[in-house]
Structure 1
Amino acid sequence: VADLAGVSTATVSHVINETRAVSAPLTARVLEAMERLHYHPDVVARSLRRRETLTLGLLVPSIEIPFFAVVARDVEAAANEAGYSVILCNSGWSLRREVRYLNDLLARRVDGLLCISLAMTAEHIAPMLRRNTPVVLFDDGTMPGIELDAVEIDNFQGAYDATAHLLALGHRRIGCITGIPNTPLNDARVRGYRQAIERNGIPFDDALLFTGDYTAASGVRHARAVFDLTVPPTAVFAFNDLMAMGVMRAAHARGMRVPDDVAVIGFDGLALTEHTSPPLSTIVQPTAAMSAAAIAMLLERIRGRAPAAPRAKIFKATLAARASTVGYHHGDVSSDV
């Protein structure tokens, strides 16, 4: 490469490793020579010299859930902007697979990990921390037994706002399809749902809570149970958009009109919610901004520029009110929310 470009081997090294400023004309000659010779730097050897691999791990519970696919896209974009590649690990809701992936990522010497896990504890993440590999929690900002940097949405406020929206439209009996139980994310959303109801002087009814698993099928299944109640709700709040779409499908199958017979609202803000029939009201998570913040937080740890104490960055979700709810008005729409 040096001979073809007419420069020294040191100049080629500086261009490849970005260890010293090289003029634009010389850089162009080196890059052209590399392309003509089909030369690709040995990334592994370079990473061993630098003690960094320029790779990050991203652990998600299920890539089949569209929200996690969106997060993966946004995390990769933010990481690539910073010069890092991302290794995506899809656990399929299996703790065993999560632990196996952690071991794989350690073996690959990733520089950091973004973790979305509903099951891991301090014991599981300990080997990563012993290696001084930074970890940032994403979406569900706590892990039992340890405090780590975290980026998450205000799940309590998001659920409160979704429920308040339905209450403001006149609904007084609101069904709720939750997510995975006994997780901080789910517990916060249940609290938000409950507090909005009780602040309006409406007794909280456990019979209106149904435990889903974030899939459309669970939305369909629990919607049928909701509709079969002796006094069925006039609205349903699902803890993600996929389950909300399942609710609308079940309603359509019964000949029910959305929102005239039952109003439906989801959570996440997937782009496809604008294209359902009717368009789905939802609580929007700013995944691009959250992903950029998580990558920035992780890189600060990697580069030793972060404070010792764990940090938490909490984003506010926003309501996107659409035709699956806003076409419904019943009785006195005044609300204390």
Structure 2
Amino acid sequence: MATMKDVAKLAGVSTSTVSHVMNLTRFVSEDIAKRVQDAARELNYSGPSAVARSLKTCRTNTIGMLVTTSTNPFYAEVVRGVEQACYQQGYNLILCNTEGDVQRLKRSLSTLVERRVDGLIMMCAMLEGEDAALYERLKKLPVVVMDWGEADFPCDRIQGHSRKGGQLATQYLLDKGHRHIGCITGPRNRQQADLRYQGFADAMTDAGLTINPDWMIESNFESDGGKAAFASLFANVEHDKSRLPSALFVCNDMMAIGVLHAAQNAGIKVPQELSIIGYDDIHLARYMNPALTTIHQSKGKLGAEAVNALLARLQDPTLAPQFMDIEPSVVERDSVQILK
């Protein structure tokens, strides 16, 4: 039967490197890891089982992630960042979609705890009231809440700086000469949606401009919500193009895509008759017609910082709860007209 020494000799590495690759206890370059894995396969060496390792170390080298399923590619891009960071750190990821359903959230939480994940990343709505007692089971488990809002239990939080992003988007429109600016928000009971609106209001107030209530629409962060929001906006101005704002800050890219589609169907040219700036800088935004000007927040960095915060707490559980904002920036494309 092949031993670890046999694998090390065939792969041309030390036995400690073989151990790190097999046990996922330290990052090893992809090239070396492949050599070790190829040698192990050739020699039919499987190494210690994951169960045996976890019993010995009290670690499973597995992170659980709860995310609300959505048609918004933003979530998929963040999950990709988390997966990449886990891979680089030698961790596995178990992903659970909650579908926005409380029972699925509770069941997924229980499953992840039973599978003895080392930590948990949450990017979904939180339990409330009596249901929140389930979080008692998480007291000894490191938890990071991503880009969602407040939590009623000790945890680290990583999120985009939404208020600053809303201010940047609106200021960009102001700098391009727009003074008649509307805003389509996500659900205002969601912290990120409300903060983006507050950033919009900050910039309008600083510019000495009044917010027109007919140009303010609350929607659902999905493309169909953007389409419905534009229909409401157009109805508010009695389908008179001349009474529309010259520009809209739409608080995420998926709604902005819905707005763009609805406006064009209504015969309104973007950006000549209506300028649009979105938020998130999803991959699809650059391929719209016109390409969407938007606020960039690094999904890869969101994911990486969440994993790093979790691993830091695993190394030192006494750390004070961390809070990190990911700085936003404007990505200029073709959906905003410069007014003279």
TM tier, shorter chain? 0.7 to 0.9
Q: How many residues are aligned here?
A: 319
User: How does 1:140-159 map onto structure 2 within 5 Å?
Assistant: 140-143=148-151, 145-159=152-166
Distance, in Å, in 2 between the alignment partners of 1:86 and 1:305 is 21
Aligned 8 A contact 1:169 1:328 in 2? yes
Shift of the 199–147 alpha-carbon distance from structure 1 to 2, 3 Å rule, reads farther
Matched, 1:127 2:136: yes
Worse-matched range after superposition: 110-119 or 166-175: 166-175
User: Aligned match of 1:164 in 171, 188, 196?
Assistant: 171
Distance, in Å, in 2 between the alignment partners of 1:6 and 1:203 is 75
Distance, in Å, in 2 between the alignment partners of 1:4 and 1:302 is 28
Aligned 8 A contact 1:54 1:110 in 2? yes
Instruction: Detail structure 1 runs of 4+ shifted over 6 Å in the superposition.
Output: 27-31
Aligned 8 A contact 1:156 1:192 in 2? yes
User: How does 1:1-337 map onto structure 2 within 5 Å?
Assistant: 1-2=1-2, 14=19, 16-17=22-23, 32-37=39-44, 39=46, 41-121=48-128, 123=132, 126-130=135-139, 132-143=140-151, 145-230=152-237, 231-304=243-316, 307=319, 309-325=320-336, 327-330=337-340
Give the C-alpha shift of residue 286 in structure 1. 1.1
Distance, in Å, in 1 between the alignment partners of 2:46 and 2:175 is 64
Give the C-alpha shift of residue 239 in structure 1. 1.2
Shift of the 7–67 alpha-carbon distance from structure 1 to 2, 3 Å rule, reads closer
Shift of the 4–217 alpha-carbon distance from structure 1 to 2, 3 Å rule, reads closer
Helix, strand or coil at the partner of 1:273 = helix
Ranges in structure 1 where 5+ consecutive residues have no aligned partner:
331-337
Per-residue CA deviations over 1:246-276 (Å, capped at 9, x if unaligned) read 1110111112110111111110011221111
Per-residue CA deviations over 1:186-226 (Å, capped at 9, x if unaligned) read 22111111111111111223332222111111111111221
Helix, strand or coil at the partner of 1:2 = coil
Identity %: 33
Query: Normalised by the size of structure 1, how large is the TM-score?
Result: 0.86
Shift of the 125–277 alpha-carbon distance from structure 1 to 2, 3 Å rule, reads farther
Aligned 8 A contact 2:7 2:43 in 1? no
Shift of the 31–170 alpha-carbon distance from structure 1 to 2, 3 Å rule, reads closer
CA RMSD for the aligned pairs?
2.8
Give the C-alpha shift of residue 227 in structure 1. 2.2
Aligned 8 A contact 1:142 1:148 in 2? no
Distance, in Å, in 2 between the alignment partners of 1:33 and 1:90 is 35
Distance, in Å, in 2 between the alignment partners of 1:35 and 1:7 is 9
Structure 2 counterpart of 1:249, which letter? H
Per-residue CA deviations over 1:49-88 (Å, capped at 9, x if unaligned) read 2111111111111243200000000100001100001111
Give the C-alpha shift of residue 33 in structure 1. 4.6
Distance, in Å, in 2 between the alignment partners of 1:14 and 1:101 is 32
Give the C-alpha shift of residue 129 in structure 1. 2.4
